[in-house]
Amino acid sequence: MEKFEVLQSTAVPLPIENIDTDQIIPARFLKATSREGFGENLFRDWRFDNAGQPKADFVMNTGRYSGQILVAGKNFGCGSSREHAAWAIYDAGFKVVISSFFADIFKGNALNNGLLPLQVSDEVLARLLGQIEEDPQTTLVVDLVKQELQVPAWEEKIPFEIDAYKKECLINGYDDIDYLVNQKDAIEQYEKSRPWAY
């Protein structure tokens, strides 16, 4: 996993609520058996028409916005547990998703892939979307170390929450598997001591 400390980037706004993982990456594109290449089909049915031509009005196609931060409506990533959704977003070049609410599984999947799900309040989200739409050159600073989001022209910095362990993992590029494999002794001990084993 790539390390993440501070990111400075412009952002792409997607002010739609309840974006589910079927929209992020439709099931028919889940047939690959490796992790790469899903970015091409990110938001497939919003981004391309049936003939595979880009839809001119979709935010990623207008040419107006770019950057490594996706700013999306509330309840982002609901639906299926497919980690392909996180892979697709990451593969398409995003390192951060900002929303006012994330679905649980998506959040976990994102963190396991070095993609930061950054949760802000509904008000901050609305202001942020307004600001980016007004000035697509707006450059945001996501400082994971300080747990702060900085928006130029805003006086205050926006603090955000992240689990301390997950933060460590992102900063150092570790993932859970490294940690868990090292717990083997404790796990075997547990297996012997369980009150009821299946």
Applying CB under 8 A, which residues contact another protein?
A: 15-18, 20, 22-23, 26-28, 30-35, 45, 50, 73-75, 78-84, 86, 101, 103-105, 108-109, 112-113, 122, 163-165, 175-177, 179-181, 183-184, 186-187, 190-191, 194-196, 198
> Which CB, 67 or 108, lies closer to another protein?
108
> Which CB, 15 or 93, lies closer to another protein?
15
Cβ pair 1, 113 in contact under 8 A: yes
Q: Among residues 43, 54, 38, which one has the least CA distance to residue 16?
A: 43
What is the number of other CB atoms lying within 10 angstroms of the CB of residue 82? 21
State the minimum distance, in angstroms, from the CB of residue 17 to another protein.
4
> Which CB, 36 or 155, lies closer to another protein?
36
> Which CB, 61 or 75, lies closer to another protein?
75
Q: What would the two tokens of residue 104 be? A: 């649980």
> Which CB, 152 or 190, lies closer to another protein?
190
Cβ-based neighbours of 190, under 8 Å, separated by 6 or more: none
State the minimum distance, in angstroms, from the CB of residue 61 to another protein.
18
Q: What single-letter amino acid sits at 137?
A: Q
State the minimum distance, in angstroms, from the CB of residue 6 to another protein.
23
| φ, ψ of residue 141 in degrees (nearest 5) | -120, 120
3-state secondary structure of 119: strand
State the minimum distance, in angstroms, from the CB of residue 8 to another protein.
27
Separation in Å, CA 4 to CA 42, 76, 98: 22, 21, 15
Separation in Å, CA 23 to CA 78, 159, 171: 10, 29, 29
State the minimum distance, in angstroms, from the CB of residue 160 to another protein.
16
